[in-house]
Amino acid sequence: MSEKPPSDILDRRRFLGAAGLAGAGALLPLAAKAGEAAKPDPMITELQDWNRFLGDGVDKKPYGVPSKFEKDVIRRDVSWLTASPESSVNFTPLHALDGIITPSGLCFERHHGGVAEIDPAQHRLMINGLVDTPMVFTMDDIRRMPRVNKVYFLECAANSGMEWRGAQLNGCQFTHGMIHNVMYTGVTLKTLLDQAGLKPNAKWLMLEGADSAGMNRSLPVSKALDDVLIAFAMNGEALRPENGYPLRAVIPGWQGNLWVKWLRRIEAGDMPWQAREETSKYTDLMPDGRARKYTFVMDAKSVITNPSPQAPLKFKGRNVLSGVAWSGRGTVKRVDVTMDGGRNWREARIDGPVLDKSMVRFYVDFDWNGEELMLQSRAIDETGYVQPSKAELRKVRGVNSIYHNNGIQTWLVHPDGVTENVEIA
């Protein structure tokens, strides 16, 4: 005995068939040459499983996760960079993102002693040293203070550090992925310091984490009173453990190493502490062997995320070039893009919010006929600072450092669309 499909399914199939023809016609300018008749697309005219069967109920995944078809959009590490995963880094997949907000689950990680798992009910933040009244705050104390929401980029000082001596890593996830851009919620550090009362000779603060490395950094009081936040949430939810749960420092525009996670203590003093992270690490070694100290600000920088080695060009004709730019000195005013290695530049279209010390997203809509492209972008910030070429940067800084490399990145697009990391002599 043969079964006939239910009449409602037959009716739906006929409806979808008609809709498929109509839809194909609507897409004709992109899908077919002029004068060709549109052909029914079985992906529209035929029922698919997602049309045929019920999907998961509302409680199947009580915390949302990306589609299984996005399983490759993940943070990745470079195993040979570090000796152990507990003191290592992985990278944000910039080539797979759009807009300016980095999803919390894709923000790059950089730890010195692994991820600390802290019960917020037992967490404390102490302020001591050169203050009128040493203070200890619980998380409940902090959450009852006036709070603010700010979008800032966080960039590791070593972002692009492997590229100082030449093109190394084939993917903007690896050359530029030690950065993310999120909305933080917290209280200003000034609010906390005002309660403790800084003594007149307090010029520096030491921020200390509760992780096993006891990560600590010195921070000038002038910056602390300007725009520093103590955050307990990002992108609308509690911080993730890998991002410093339950409390972290947010130091807008300054290198990520200062953004101490799992923050437990702030000591006020009259001079910097000269901790390991500001002496043997995170100082820029110059060609003559001397080191630049206190290079906190991250200068203007940009990168084209698409096309890039992990996101090659697939189609001739209409295409969208996309990328991100940022500056630790304020807002990004303009981004220029060249497709011929710097002979000709055009101004990119910045779309979306342009915020202080935050990423911007830029685009160039273009037609590609299959010719070789040499892609670069350069950011200009509100101070007039222009992102330098790598040659200009090396002329001043040499190649001994691994920090603060904001040189212009070059991608070579081959006629088959394959894209690679190169440098122009």
How far apart are alpha carbons 71 and 69 in whole angstroms? 6
How far apart are alpha carbons 41 and 312 in whole angstroms? 26
Is residue 29's pLDDT more than 80? no
Among 65, 149, 62, 154, smallest CA distance to 102 is for: 154
Question: Which contiguous run of DSSP H or E holds residue 12?
Answer: helix 7-26
Q: What are phi and psi of 25, to 5 degrees?
A: -65, -40
Q: Average the pLDDT over 352-370 and give the result.
A: 98
Tell me, yes or no, whether 98 lies in a domain.
Answer: yes
Q: Are 153 and 285 in contact (CB under 8 A)?
A: no
Structural domain that includes position 96: 76-292
User: How many domains, the chain?
Assistant: 2
- Give residue 37's pLDDT band: very low, low, confident or very high (50, 70, 90): confident
Domain boundary (292, 320, 339) is at 292
287 and 393 belong to one structural domain: no
Question: Which contiguous run of DSSP H or E holds residue 192?
Answer: helix 189-196
More confidently predicted of 354 and 291: 354
Q: Residue 83's pLDDT is what?
A: 82
Is residue 10's pLDDT more than 50? no
162 and 286 belong to one structural domain: yes
Is residue 316's pLDDT more than 60? yes
Contacts of 115 (CB under 8 A, 6+ apart): 109, 211, 241, 242
Q: CATH number for the domain including 118?
A: 3.90.420.10
Q: Are 352 and 324 in contact (CB under 8 A)?
A: no
203 and 260 belong to one structural domain: yes
130 and 222 belong to one structural domain: yes
Domain boundary (253, 272, 292) is at 292
239 and 97 belong to one structural domain: yes
Q: What are phi and psi of 243, to 5 degrees?
A: -105, 10
265 and 334 belong to one structural domain: no
389 to each of 95, 120, 357, 376, 377, how far by Cα in Å? 22, 45, 21, 10, 10
Tell me, yes or no, whether 32 lies in a domain.
Answer: no
How far apart are alpha carbons 238 and 244 in whole angstroms? 10
315 and 252 belong to one structural domain: no
Q: Residue 281's pLDDT is what?
A: 83
287 and 329 belong to one structural domain: no
The per-residue pLDDT for range 93-151, each reduced to its tens digit, is 999 999 999 999 999 999 989 999 999 999 999 999 999 999 999 999 999 999 999 99
334 and 275 belong to one structural domain: no
Is residue 25's pLDDT more than 70? no
Q: Residue 305's pLDDT is what?
A: 98
Beta bridge pairs of residue 204: 220, 269
- Give residue 34's pLDDT band: very low, low, confident or very high (50, 70, 90): low
Q: Are 236 and 305 in contact (CB under 8 A)?
A: no
Q: Residue 38's pLDDT is what?
A: 78
Tell me, yes or no, whether 321 lies in a domain.
Answer: yes
Q: Average the pLDDT over 156-171 and give the result.
A: 93
Residue 50: count of CB within 10 angstroms of its CB: 7
Contacts of 393 (CB under 8 A, 6+ apart): 405, 406, 407
Residue 389 Ramachandran class (φ > 0 left, ψ -120 to 50 alpha, else beta): beta
> String of b and e for 168-184 (b: at least 16 CB within 10 Å)?
ebbbbbbbbbbbbbbbb
Q: Residue 166's pLDDT is what?
A: 92
- Give residue 7's pLDDT band: very low, low, confident or very high (50, 70, 90): very low
329 and 251 belong to one structural domain: no
262 and 114 belong to one structural domain: yes
Q: CATH number for the domain including 339?
A: 2.60.40.650
- Which DSSP string do the residues of 37-65 spell out, in sequence order? PP---HHHHS--HHHHS----TTS-SS--
Contacts of 50 (CB under 8 A, 6+ apart): none
Domain boundary (234, 259, 292) is at 292
Tell me, yes or no, whether 50 lies in a domain.
Answer: no
97 and 203 belong to one structural domain: yes
Six token digits for residue 57: 């109920």
Rounded to 5°, the CA angle 354-355-356 comes to: 135
Six token digits for residue 279: 């002496």
Tell me, yes or no, whether 39 lies in a domain.
Answer: no
The per-residue pLDDT for range 41-80, each reduced to its tens digit, is 999 999 998 999 999 999 999 999 999 999 999 999 988 8
How far apart are alpha carbons 164 and 403 in whole angstroms? 9
Q: Residue 3's pLDDT is what?
A: 40
Tell me, yes or no, whether 146 lies in a domain.
Answer: yes
How far apart are alpha carbons 395 and 334 in whole angstroms? 25
- Give residue 277's pLDDT band: very low, low, confident or very high (50, 70, 90): confident
Tell me the percentage of the chain whose pLDDT exceeds 70: 91
Is residue 82's pLDDT more than 60? yes
Q: Average the pLDDT over 285-299 and give the result.
A: 91
The per-residue pLDDT for range 177-207, each reduced to its tens digit, is 999 999 999 999 999 999 999 999 999 999 9
Q: Are 405 and 160 in contact (CB under 8 A)?
A: yes
Tell me, yes or no, whether 2 lies in a domain.
Answer: no
Is residue 395's pLDDT more than 50? yes
How far apart are alpha carbons 373 and 352 in whole angstroms? 27
Q: Specify the 3-state DSSP secondary structure of 106.
A: helix
Tell me, yes or no, whether 19 lies in a domain.
Answer: no
More confidently predicted of 282 and 297: 297
Q: Residue 22's pLDDT is what?
A: 37
